[in-house]
Amino acid sequence: MSNSIAIASGKGGVGKTTIAVNLSLTLSQMGSKVSLMDADFGLANAHILLGINPKKTIRDLLKNGLPLEDIIETGPSGLKFISGGNGLIDILNIEKNSKYQLIRALNPIQKNTDTLVVDIPAGASENSMTFASAVDKLIIVLVSEPTSFMDAYTFIKTAKLDHGIHNFSIVVNMTYDEKEAENTFVKFRNIVNKFLDANLTFLGGVPRSKKIQNAIIRKLPIVLDKNAELEKLAFQRISKKIIKAGENNNNGIRFFSKDQ
Ligand SMILES: Nc1ncnc2c1ncn2[C@@H]1O[C@H](COP(=O)(O)OP(=O)(O)OP(=O)(O)O)[C@@H](O)[C@H]1O
Ligand SMILES: [Mg+2]
């Protein structure tokens, strides 16, 4: 059965796209059929990390009526990739129907997809929340900084109170080691659970790494780099845990839903 995962954060620049791309590739390498959608329509950039130059984007689907199969690219490790296309924020912000149209447009790939990964924009905007509500599993990327804690908390609060999302899986990025990652998670969970009844699960940490920083310049995702064992291991650990992570079954429009 297919499942869907979104990568969110609240705060921008904490590593959502890095994690969406490398988690997708790791799941592919582990034998899953994975599709990655870049839903950061304002500043879509997952294709750059993947080293792909997409000819068509979601704009062609929404504005020009192109079928989904015409905009899907095949990336490394057989990953299927749907590019966001810049400047789409205009139509998606205005029209709720465009977002629903896009979620429904992905239905045909369900039969060839084990896992759909969605890279969603920073912030707790209506766009972010629509996609966060439409997936089974929601990953929040956190870094050990007060601003990241504050924005991740705001995101979780909005998701829980306004959209009925209860399960959140946490990845701590830019860590020194796994112990520090876990300590950051525990600190954050204590803050959240003081105010909200939400279920937070620790998926693991991703080390702060010069190699990850340079990957975008080399256009070689870190998990495909032969000299990045530590980074690869981190993504393998997270991939194994996400398979068991809690799912959300909130109401509303969802990816791969039959009753739409
Ligand atoms: N673990 C890491 N170690 C070192 N640098 C990192 C790490 N993770 C991400 N970065 C760097 O941080 C910057 C932001 O990463 P990324 O684009 O993935 O964040 P984002 O959350 O998707 O940002 P945005 O909110 O703009 O979409 C990039 O330059 C990236 O290379
Ligand atoms: Mg991003």
The topology (CATH level 3) of 3-244 is Rossmann fold (3.40.50)
Count CA atoms within 13 Å of residue 177 on its CB side: 1
Q: Pocket of ligand 1, candidates 7, 18, 21, 220: which has the most ligand atoms within 8 Å of its Cβ, to mutate?
A: 18
Place of tokens 């490790």: 77
User: Cβ(257) to ligand 1 under 6 A?
Assistant: no
pLDDT of res. 117: 98
Contact, 218 vs 210, CB < 8 A?
A: no
Query: Rounded to whole angstroms, how far apart are CA atoms 78 and 5?
Result: 18
State which ligand 1 atom lies nearest to the alpha carbon of 11.
25
The tokens describing 148, both together, are 């990241």
Query: Rounded to whole angstroms, how far apart are CA atoms 36 and 130?
Result: 17
Q: How many CB atoms lie within 10 A of CB 119?
A: 26
Residue 189's nearest CA partner among 226, 147, 156 is 156
Query: Rounded to whole angstroms, how far apart are CA atoms 101 and 81?
Result: 18
User: Cβ(216) to ligand 1 under 6 A?
Assistant: yes
Backbone dihedral region of 256: left (phi > 0), alpha (psi from -120 to 50 degrees) or beta?
left
pTM, two decimals, is 0.96
Query: Rounded to whole angstroms, how far apart are CA atoms 208 and 177?
Result: 9
* Residues within 5 A (CB) of ion ligand 2: 16-17
The closest residue, in CA terms, to atom 2 on ligand 1 is 208
Count CA atoms within 13 Å of residue 174 on its CB side: 13
- Regions in the chain scoring below 50 on pLDDT: 260
The tokens describing 163, both together, are 């959209």
Angle at 64 between CA 58 and CA 68, to 5 degrees: 45
**Cα separation values, 232 from 110, 226, 229, Å:** 27, 9, 5
pLDDT of res. 260: 46
pLDDT of res. 63: 82
Q: Where do runs of H (alpha helix) occur along 5-95? A: 16-29, 46-50, 58-64, 89-94
Instruction: Give, for 185, the enclosing helix (H) or strand (E).
Output: helix 178-195
